[in-house]
Structure 1
Amino acid sequence: MLSDPALADLSALFGARFSTARAVLDHHAQSESLVSAPPPWAVVFPETTQEVSALAALSDRHGFPLIGWGAGTSLEGHALAPQGGVTVDFTRMDRVLAVHPEDMVAVVQPGLTRIALNDALRATGLFFPVDPGANASLGGMASTRASGTATVRYGTMRDNVLGLEVVLAGGEVIRTGTMARKSAAGYDLTGLIVGSEGTLGLITELTLRLHGQPEAVSSAACAFPSVSAAVDCVIATIQMGLPMARIELLDEATVAAVNAFSHLALPPAPQLLLEFHGSPASVAEQAERFGELAAGFGAQGFQWAEKQEDRNRLWAARHQAYRAILASRPGATAVVTDVCVPISALAQALAETAADIAASPLPGPILGHVGDGNFHAILMVKRGDAAEAAVAKDLARRMAERALRLGGTITGEHGIGFGKTGLMPAEHGAGWQAMGRIKQALDPKGLMNPGKMVP
């Protein structure tokens, strides 16, 4: 717990923005998945980089851990406090600091959410494309190297963060990267911090790559006779170089859940949800080419969503699929899997995963960003049922091992937190220990989000 001198220093620094109230602590112990931890010892709400720097100096002096908090939407316990400490809630650092339309760059604070950024960009003709579904904070998205539905065209946070301002352990403030699109000047510290899950420092500013809003957008849902037929169509689409903006898979169980939860009327069959970006002529051509390709895999027709309100409804339903699946088993929580494999191995990975789940006593609908080989099984577990939780965790472990066997990774976008640390040696071998040495060099006292990701 915090010492009396630490409590006094934190109260002096943050005043009313320092809290040990039970309701505040409990809010910062919430998780959207089965991963759980006790509440932190205290929560602070900084408003400036200088305050975060002073906080890190206090952490170093008094020896308490710091855990960053954005919107609280992570799934592997990244923002929880399994070893106690002070949660740093960035929701008050939520401003757009600058937009440079000619350079297609925005500079923002970490608590700003992706939807708020795109709302601010509407008049510029630009947008930020990384879309993990949840209205996550941009600092949190960078910390977990998030991606989402548009990754197949626009890339992940790794591809769209140009630079950062970071407070290191002890309070030192560094800047990484520039507004330039490339650099060969030394180690890629931006790439190191993106995806480090707050274990190396706290992000206080981001310089982001923006993209032009497409002139024309068209979305559709397309039913297939089987998951394997839909996946074979995806593989053929990617291999022929058709520039999809989004291509998402929903298996039949997910379709049923989404229809019930979001009041859609998708046919009761596996679906691909699609989106095409470009000029009106290129969008029409892409849709026509995909239609010809899909017909060869038994596609059962398209439900087009060309009006913006129809597109918004379709993609809102996709983004709410996790909640829709949970609602299909009232009182359930879930182990959320997140493997990613080479596109050539996607059909095998999905087929083996589906068979493994079918042989278990648990429901586990499958969905995913199949355009980049990333898919999720939502393994639903009755709250408090230790036996079901054990079955789900064993299924998730086998999924991860399968992904590695097929040349993939244990997580495509959700990250490690403390939910998946036990799987890291199998993916990285001695490289995991090297990550630990980097952590030791930058955070020798182990105060930055301890117990997460690294040895």
Structure 2
Amino acid sequence: MVVAAAKSEPALQERIVEAIESLRSLLDHKLVTNLAVREQHANITTYLPNEPADAVVFAECTEDVQAIVRICADLDVPVIPWGAGTSLEGHVNAPLGGICVDLSRMNRILAVNTDDLDCVIEPGVTRKRLNEELRDQGLFFPLDPGADASLGGMASTRCSGTNAVRYGTMKDNVLSLKVVTPAGEVLTTATRARKSSAGYDLTRLYVGAEGTLGIITEITLKLHGIPEAISAAVCPFPTVEAACNTVIATIQSGIPVARIELLDEVQVKASNAYAKLDLAETPTLFLEFHGTEANVHEQAQRFGALAAEYGGGPSVFAVKPEERSKLWQARHDAYWSALPLRPGAKAVATDVCVPISRLAECVMETKRDIVEMGLVAPIVGHVGDGNFHTTLMVDVADPDDFAKAKLYMARLIERALAMGGTCTGEHGIGQGKMKYMAAEHGGEALEAMRAIKRALDPKNIMNPGKIVAI
């Protein structure tokens, strides 16, 4: 057997082999050691090297997860949880080897409590499937990161998406979790109550922990009623700065937009070609308004007046579901639509988030970097909460091009931090952004995170090499 942890000490390699043999005797039909499958379960969506685990186990229930973790805990073998593989910062890589726990078969919707506006699901349920199941009951789960991610992964990375400006992020929409600890025990973080002041907030400790403290096997989510009326709009602007200033004014004036997304002129051109749209190739805001017919009409009017002050408009509205879906699919396909902009290059997506008042300044300075460095990097963003992304097209085989890309990303993050922002609004830390944690949080806060990690995972077996170095 070729062990993925060959760069680790021989003792760990031996323990990994022993763990695989123990798992094979217990869960043989759920265990795979094929290299192609292992590589598919490692990092495949970024510039980071693919570092596969030594085996993948397809868990089907909490008891399976407990059994896997107990074997690995006894042998001090790393455990890497896997949901749908859509994360962007190396979250599912196995730098020390170990066992990948694929949770995609744990995809049952266990309960929908219509009167309480919540549901209980397993982590492998994807957001699209959940909303398909909820539609007949007049309910929906609003978080929409674009990819059809698993909800377990969305909780683990504290994701947000296009609706976050109105409905919040995962930390605001998770009521409770069931978690398998590094010792193989099960804990429940909270009840279904909408609020509580009973003890430490364990739910929010695990939301965003990226699998470094335990494996989520059950999630209780807040739900919302499907709005009576929904209207989408597309509004062009003469400059990115004008579009960003309109966003700032919209948020500061209290217009309750559900979505407000920026596409710069480069991304609009790419989306036109990829999604067969005919938008003016100029910086553009995609918006969506939720509420009653009267609310939606009023919101659209107020936004239109603000946009006009900055030279924006006229807005084009889409009310029919199929028209709205086409627009938002084009926004969600930004990653894929960028690929033809530089054939043969790899798309490297990164994000930052700044206080809303600094949004225009941060985006404009980033655009200046892109031009001066001669890069291809369309900008998109959930700009209603100060979060934006760049899809950097990089020839990863060219050392000079790769070095320039890394310099650009470092400057982007340094700029965001200097403005009181964060190195990642929703992609998470994983491996890719660990080096910025000290600059963002400071030494004392980072040491507090390490203390939590050591206390809950003393053997450092849960997704090691992510968020904080132990």
**TM-score normalised to structure 1 length:** 0.98
* Residues 1:384 and 2:397 are matched in the alignment: yes
Match of 2:456 among 425, 436, 442: 442
**Aligned-residue CA RMSD (Å):** 1.0
**Take 1:268 and 1:89, find their aligned partners in 2: how far apart are those partners?**
42
Q: Residue 84 of structure 2 aligns with which residue? A: 71
Aligned to 1:259: 272
Is 1:109 aligned to residue 122 of structure 2?
Answer: yes
Partner of 2:100: 87
Instruction: Kindly indicate whether the alpha-carbon contact (under 8 Å) linking 1:49 and 1:204 is maintained by their aligned counterparts in 2.
Output: yes
The Cα shift of 1:15 comes to 1.5
4+ runs deviating over 4 angstroms:
none
Query: Cα offset for 1:365?
Result: 1.0
Structure 2 residue 142 is the aligned partner of structure 1 residue 163: no
Q: How does 1:32-71 map to 2 (within 5 A)?
A: 32-71=45-84
Residue 332 of structure 2 corresponds to which residue in structure 1? 319
C-alpha contact (below 8 Å) 2:39/2:50 kept by paired residues: no
1:278 correspondence with 2:273: no
Residues 108 and 205 of structure 1 are in contact (CA less than 8 Å); yes or no, is this contact kept in structure 2? yes
Counterpart pick for 2:195 among 171, 182, 188: 182
Unaligned runs of 5+ in 1: none
1:36, CA displacement in angstroms?
A: 2.3
Instruction: Report how many aligned residue pairs link the two structures.
Output: 455
For 1:54 and 1:313, locate their aligned partners in 2 and report how far apart those are by CA, in whole Å.
Answer: 44
Output the CA distance in 1 between the equivalents of 2:187 and 2:340: 44
1:126 Cα offset (Å): 0.8
For residues 110 and 226 of structure 1, the distance between their equivalents in structure 2, rounded to whole angstroms, comes to 42
Distance 1:241 1:11, change over 3 A: same
* 3-state SS in 1 of match to 2:233: strand
Q: Deviations over 1:49-70 (max 9, x none)?
A: 0111111110111221000111
1:274-333 Cα deviation digits (max 9, x unpaired): 000000111011111111111111113122111100000000000001111123222221
Q: Distance in 2 between matches of 1:71 and 1:26?
A: 13
Matched residue SS, 2:115: coil
Contiguous gaps of at least 5 residues in structure 2: 1-12
CA contact (8 A) 1:331 1:383 kept: no
Instruction: Kindly provide the amino acid, as one letter, of the partner of residue 453 in structure 1.
Output: I
Alignment of 1:277-316 (within 5 A): 277-316=290-329
SS in 2 for 1:362: coil
Describe the superposition over 1:177-232 as per-residue Cα deviations: whole angstroms up to 9, x where unpaired. Answer: 11111000000000000000000000000000001100000001110000000011
**Mapping for residues 354-373 of structure 1, pairs under 5 Å:** 354-373=367-386
**Between the two proteins, what is the percent identity of the paired residues?**
56
Pair 1:281–1:29, CA change in 2 (3 A): same
Question: In structure 2, how many angstroms separate the alpha carbons of the residues matched to 1:135 and 1:289?
Answer: 33
TM-score (norm 2): 0.95
CA 1:4 to 1:231, structure 2 compared with 1: closer, same or farther past 3 Å? closer
Select which of 206, 221, 245 maps to 1:232.
Answer: 245
Q: Is the 8 A contact 2:231 2:319 kept in 1?
A: yes
The letter for the 1-side match of 2:459 is K
Residue 30 of structure 1 deviates from its aligned partner by 4.0
Which amino acid is 1:402 matched to? R
